[in-house]
Amino acid sequence: MRYLRIAWVALAIVVIGMDAVSIPFAYEQAQTLCESTSCNGPDDERLAPDEVRDLDELGLSPDFFAGGTVGLEVIGVISFSTVSIVIFLRGSGDRMALLTSFTLLMFGGAAFNSDLSEALAAAHPALKFPVDLLDYIGQVAFSTFFFVFPDGRFVPRWTRWLALMWALLFIPNLFFPGSRLNVLGGPLFPGYVITLVIVQVYRYVRVSDPTQRQQTKWVVFGSTVAIGGFVLTLVVSNLFPPDQQSHILAEILQGTLIYAFILLIPVSVAVAILRSRLYDIDLLINQTLVYLLLTAMLGLVYVGIVFSLQYLLRALTGETSQLVIVASTLAIAALFNPLLRRIQDVVDRRFYRRKYDAAETLRDFSGRLRNETNLNTLNDDLVAVVGKTMQPEHVSLWLRDNR
């Protein structure tokens, strides 16, 4: 363990030091005008001429754009690195905690925020291979972490070969992105993500003990919100594209939201690993699931009502009306509470069955309590209710004799 901790410290100095040195190069690149026909490519961080004009029309400068872009990347590096250092200082004696700390360090400092070091490599081509190597280590560490979390073992055992396969496929993806061997850069990438999720679900259902399940809940919950928010941001930006003048502003907002969501991952991992007594997040997960479903359903209903009424009104009168928007909003307001109660009931039945059954049992007992007059029957009912809801090993009832 001592040598592993020494290696961690050495890598931390390299990664964080390289990111710090890269900041001025990334800032210069972000405010540089791209004058070629390939501007705004997937790997081009420079400003296109039309983006410069958009910034000028909005009263913003290229310096502002560069500062915001680099600032987000710096915040990402600081957040991942801080959580990594805290875990290292508090739990480096545990192999899984050390792996988690290493994953956050490499993924946050060299993979997810690779644009910083890529700018340094663009200015000094000799650093291209070390930068790509650190990026590769970060990606492989991230996938390995999901295969072995939370106990450090590959379960099932054959998943080690799956982890090795993804590690090999990342080689052309990062070192030879233009090669035909880069199959991970295409449709295969969703399969990579799905395997990580499936392994965690299997471990949660079949392998993990209660403490490990609680730890997994933290990581899964944080990762789900992060990925869901990331996808939602991209979907909204594609469904409702901004006008030409607002394009660059929407790009800044989109980048900010993506970083805000992704930063939930180190936070959730830190809580899962460091808390000796984890917070009870069942209620948080419950309410998040309920309101996500509620928002989605109300959104679909709202869009459906607006489009249907506007289409009907246009067919009848040849015109549209703002009253349709008002009527749709009132309908959504009227549906909010009934739909919320219904979704809460469905979620409790499906995902929190034990708590739902306990609540139903207590509700039934309260109804019988108002009408039952036989003391022996009440005693039997009370013992049965306590046994069903609390599930103790043994239940006894003593009544004090007041004679």
Supply the mean pLDDT for the chain: 76
Is 55 part of a structural domain of the chain?
A: yes
Nearest CA among 61, 57, 59, 36 for reference residue 46: 36
Half-sphere exposure of 202 (CA within 13 A, CB side): 14
Distance CA 178, CA 291 (A): 43
- Give pLDDT, residue 60: 65
Does the N-terminal peptide bond of residue 150 adopt cis geometry, omega within 30 degrees of 0?
A: yes
Q: Which of 201, 229, 250 marks a domain boundary?
A: 201
Amino acid at 367: G
- Give pLDDT, residue 281: 53
Q: Which of 201, 227, 259 marks a domain boundary?
A: 201
Residue owning tokens 């901790």: 5
Is 169 part of a structural domain of the chain?
A: yes
- 143-182 pLDDT per residue, tens: 999 898 878 889 888 899 999 999 999 999 889 888 888 8
Residue owning tokens 């306990």: 358
| Averaged pLDDT, 5-29 | 89
Residue owning tokens 């899964």: 220
254, 71 Cβ separation under 8 angstroms? no
Distance CA 94, CA 149 (A): 13
Is 90 part of a structural domain of the chain?
A: yes
Q: How many domains does the chain have?
A: 2
- Give pLDDT, residue 276: 43
| Helix residue ranges per DSSP H, 149-246 | 159-175, 188-202, 210-239
Is 41 part of a structural domain of the chain?
A: yes
Q: Are residues 294 and 196 located together in one domain of the fold?
A: no
In the numeric block, which tokens belong to residue 147? 């295969």
DSSP string, 244-313: TTTHHHHHHHHHHHHHHHHTHHHHHHHHHHH-SS----HHHHHHHHHHHHHHHHHHHHHHHHHHHHHHHH
Contacts of 361 (CB under 8 A, 6+ apart): 385, 388, 389
**pLDDT interval class at 279 (50, 70, 90):** very low
- 91-131 pLDDT per residue, tens: 667 788 888 889 999 998 888 878 888 888 888 899 999 99
Is 401 part of a structural domain of the chain?
A: no
Is 248 part of a structural domain of the chain?
A: no
pTM score, whole prediction: 0.66
Is 325 part of a structural domain of the chain?
A: yes
pLDDT at 277 over 50: no
Distance CA 112, CA 41 (A): 18
Distance CA 128, CA 123 (A): 9
**3-state DSSP call for residue 33?**
strand
- 340-376 pLDDT per residue, tens: 888 887 777 665 555 545 555 556 656 666 665 655 6
Distance CA 259, CA 230 (A): 8
- Give pLDDT, residue 278: 45
388, 358 Cβ separation under 8 angstroms? yes
**Could you tell me the residue range of the domain that residue 104 belongs to?**
2-201
Q: Which of 169, 201, 233 marks a domain boundary?
A: 201
- 27-56 pLDDT per residue, tens: 888 777 776 555 554 455 667 666 767 666
